[in-house]
Structures are given as C-alpha cells and as structure tokens.
Amino acid sequence: MSDDSKNKSAAPTEVPVQVVPMAMPKSNLLTRLFGKKLTGNELNIAIAPFVDAAGQDHARELAAVFQDIDGIQAKAFKETPVLGPESDRVELLPAACVQAMNWVGSMSADLVLWGDIPPPGTTFFIHFAAAPPQDKDPAGITSPYQSLNLPLGFDPKELGSLLVATSLAAMNLTIDGKIKTCQKLIASALEHAISEIENIPSDFTMREKASVQAAFANALAAFGHLFPGGEVFQRASKAYVEAIRGTLRSEAPTNWAYLQRNLGAVLQALSERNDDIDTMELAVAAYRESLDVFTREATPFPWATTQNRLGEMLYRLDIKSGDTDGIKEGLTCFQGALKILTLKSTPLLWSDTLNNLGQAAQVLGREIDNLEVIERSVTACQQALKVRTIDKYPTLWAATQNNMGSALFLQGRMTGTEKHFEQALEAFMGAREVYETLGLTRMVKLTEKNIQHAQSRLPDKNDKTSKGGDSGAWWMEEDES
C-alpha cells in the first residue's frame, strides 16, 4: 500500500464548495447513462474517471461493486477530471470538490464517486459527492474532503460492502421511494461491512486505516436511528475515535472538524438514550473541537448546525447539574446559529433552533427568576410554530405547544395574570390531544401533569379538562420530540 503522506505535504485550502446550477438532463440521457429506463426509485451512482499513471481508467472496477445489487444503478462516465495522477492533489482538491458537486447536478445522480489514484498508483482515493442535505442535520455527514482509501484491484467480497455502506450514507435523498430503497439495502451492507472492518489489511498505512474507520463510522451514524438500542451508535463512536486518531488536523482541518462534529452527534444520540452525564460532556468536548475549525465566515452551515447541537447539549447538562453558566452559553449558541439558519433558507432547522432556544430560556428564566427571559421563551416558541404546524408536523407542533405552555405558566406565576394560565392550559390541552391521537401515552401522561398545574391556578375551572395523573415538577416536562 502507498504511504499517502507524499500527497499531503501541506493542508489544502479548504473553501466552501460553491455549486453552479446546471440544467437537468433529458430522460434519454439518463437511459443512456444507466442502461435502462428508470422507475424513479433506483439509487443512481455516477462514477468519474479514476486514471492511473499509465493512463488507464479504473472507474469500471468501482462500478462492478454495485452491479448485482437490486435497487442501485452504477455507471462510469467520461469527463476530464481536475485531479489526475500527475496533479498537485493538495492544491487542486478544492477545485475537484466543486467539479464533483457540479457533476451531481449534470448527471442527475444521487451520488458521484470521484477521486484519483496518486503515485505510486496502488490506491484508490475515493471521494463522495451528493446534493447537500435539504434543511436537515443528519448524524453522519461525509465531508467532501474525506476519502475512502482502498487498494487498487481490491476484492469486492472483502471490502465491497464497506464501499456500498459508505455510498448509501453519503446520499441525501428526498424522494420517499429512494429513501425506502436505501433503507432496504443498508442492513445487509452494514452487516458485511462490520466483518470487513475487523479484517483491514495489515499493510494499510495509518491514514488509510483512518479513512476506512471514518467511512465505516459515517455509515453507522447515518443509519443508527433505524436500529433499536444504542449499539450502532456505540460502534460509530469507537470508529470515529480511531479515525480522528489517524487524521492530522494540520493536514486536513475541515475533514478533522467533520469527524469531531460527527463524533459529537453520535455521543449526543447515545446520551438521549442513556441520560449519562459523562457521555453528554464528551459530546460537548467534541463539538467544541469542531468549532475550533468551523467558522461562521468560511463554513457557515456546519458552524451553525454545530452551534445548535452544542447549545442542546449544554441545555441538557444544565438540567442535570443546574449550571446556569452552561445554559447561558447554550442560549448564545442558539442565537449564533439563528444568524445563519433562517426561515427562508432552512425553515425546519430554524424552527428547531427556536424551539431549543425556547426550552433553554424557560429553564434559565425560572432559575434566575427573570420575567424578560421567560417572555423571550414564549416569543421563540411562537416563532417556531410558524413552521411547526399541526397539519404538517403534529408531534413537533405538540412539543412546541407544551414548551410554550410551560413558559406561559411561569409568566403567569411571575405576574399573577390569569390570562397567562389560561393560555398555558390551552397550549397543554392542544398538545395532549395530538399525543392522544398518535397514541403517545408517555407524552399524554407528562402533559397531564402540566394541565393539572395550570388548572390549579384557575379556581373557576372544573376538572373536566384533566384526565387524572399525579403532580410533578412541571418544568421538567418539556417535550423533546
């Protein structure tokens, strides 16, 4: 295997990828490219030329990995790549990322595999390009600068499933049929990839091993939510740690930052399952590491979404420890994220961040007994409801209604105004109705407690609005749906 340090003598100038809009190809071009008429639910993978020093294109070798998989159409195409065997990889990598992203549009592909075979010509450096996620912040994000390094002529039976799983994880699908196709394929791909990852060839270099671990971790992280328990996320976290250990920040800062961000995301997912303060603190540390690289100016989207995630974890740590310094920092994180995530550009992420801000402001306002902060919580929830409507997102609507009801209750308690208790009761009852309709019994019980507290402040109300349940610390019942 090659020691790729010769190709990474200095860090590339990693700039945000700007994609030039391109016209969609006509259907007959798709037929020629993929060999048959598409139904719309196949996953279309286009493979750019991988040219070695002898001028031979090895793209078909990669296409062969996918040829017998039902639901995937993979074809090599002919273009002139920016990267070639004699190229300065460090200097041209940003331009190659832009070229690959433009290929995604021109080929109307769900994924483009691209990269090169640098000297001495023994290793594929495989990169993945897909349409950017639309208003989503998934757990395992594949950086455009991240490569999966596999030996030239590798046996698909030995490493092919890892390439398949990585490819599925790198796609950002929006069509329901394609999403279902992807979900049908991923369990088998991951099962075989787990076996492959345990038998990494002994002659892999440190960086090659890191690239394999990073690709494996992304696949686990991207689909961990489909599997019960936290075992998949546990495996992902260990793989990310191995990938980070073999990735030098000085040589690949953006790639390193994405690995830290992704590690934080899987730790966050684990903390939501085990409610473990140590896991939360590890997630916070990983997010902080990534934000040492991500900046609002150079990488605005990953910076903003990581700020939102960091704020969430600081909020949850406050619930566990009562550390108001942490929750104040969390509010600053949400406010920073909202400078990038807007109602127009990313409505769902914008509303998620506002809902998080509303939760955190409510807890801080209660802890420091500050009416202005509570009012900010109510306002944030009201803004979030512009997107989180009951018809489109009933569970999200109910979550924000429950959070807003808690803030209104606090507002009423601080001001002695009966109207706020009435508004809180109305919000809680709306949330309960949705939870009952959807059969979410746990959330029905939690909301019932909040209804009882609001009702107790309105002596002229009878108990017809309540359906039983004991009282509890209502401010701990914010819905996290």
The pLDDT profile of the chain, 481 residues, written as one tens digit per residue, is 444 433 433 444 444 443 333 333 333 444 444 444 556 799 999 999 999 999 999 999 999 999 999 999 999 999 999 998 888 998 999 999 999 999 999 999 999 999 999 999 999 999 999 998 889 999 999 998 999 999 999 999 889 999 999 999 999 999 999 999 999 999 999 999 999 998 888 888 898 999 999 999 999 999 999 998 899 999 999 999 999 999 999 989 999 999 999 999 999 999 999 999 999 999 999 999 999 999 999 999 999 999 999 999 999 998 888 778 899 999 999 999 999 999 999 999 999 999 999 999 999 999 999 999 999 999 999 999 999 999 999 999 999 999 999 999 999 999 999 999 999 999 999 999 999 999 999 999 999 999 999 999 997 655 545 454 433 333 434 454 4
d(CA 468, CA 471): 9
Neighbours of 194 (CB within 10 A): 17
What values do phi and psi take at 249, rounded to 5?
-60, -35
CB 336 within 8 A of CB 296: yes
Which string of DSSP letters, residue by residue, matches 10-39?
A: S-----PPPPPP-PPPPHHHHHHHHSS---
d(CA 452, CA 422): 12
pLDDT at 32: 44
- Token pair belonging to 418: 């009966």
d(CA 341, CA 345): 7
Residue 40: DSSP 8-state: S
CA angle, residues 131, 180, 46, in degrees to nearest 5: 40
- Token pair belonging to 465: 């609005």
d(CA 7, CA 11): 10
- Token pair belonging to 222: 């991207």
d(CA 399, CA 393): 10
pLDDT at 170: 97
Amino acid at 149: N
The distance of Cα 45 from the centroid of its chain, to the nearest Å, equals 21
- Token pair belonging to 153: 């002529």
Residue 241: DSSP 8-state: H
pLDDT at 460: 66
Q: What is the pTM (predicted TM-score) of this model?
A: 0.86
Domain locations in the chain as residue ranges? 1-274
